[in-house]
Amino acid sequence: MEPFIIATNRQLSVLHPIHLLLVPHFKNTMNINAAARKALISANGVIEKTFTPGKFSLEISSKIYGALWHFNDQGLPNDLLKRYTHLNSLITNILLKVL
């Protein structure tokens, strides 16, 4: 939700109807997420103490996911091309027209 909150605050006027509709839903979201990151997933946080084998488990998992997960594959068009390999030529043609 954080990217949507930031984009809404940056791009929409305070008087814009969509901004006015979204503000109540965004209330305290950033504070809740920051508190959760600090308490739950930080070093020596609740998640690390409860569900993992030790203090180096976050480092180990980040190394493993670092080799498998790539940021560029999560966005368009790479994500579509990766998921729908049988439609590669169609997706590529559509994206070339759009972009």
In which band, very low, low, confident or very high, does the pLDDT at 12 lie, cut at 50, 70 and 90?
A: very high
Convert the pLDDT of each residue in 38-70 to its tens digit: 888 887 788 777 776 666 777 777 787 777 777
* pLDDT reported for residue 52: 66
Q: How far apart are CA 6 and CA 2, in angstroms?
A: 6
Q: Is the pLDDT of residue 34 over 80?
A: yes
If you average pLDDT over residues 82-87, what whole number do you get? 74
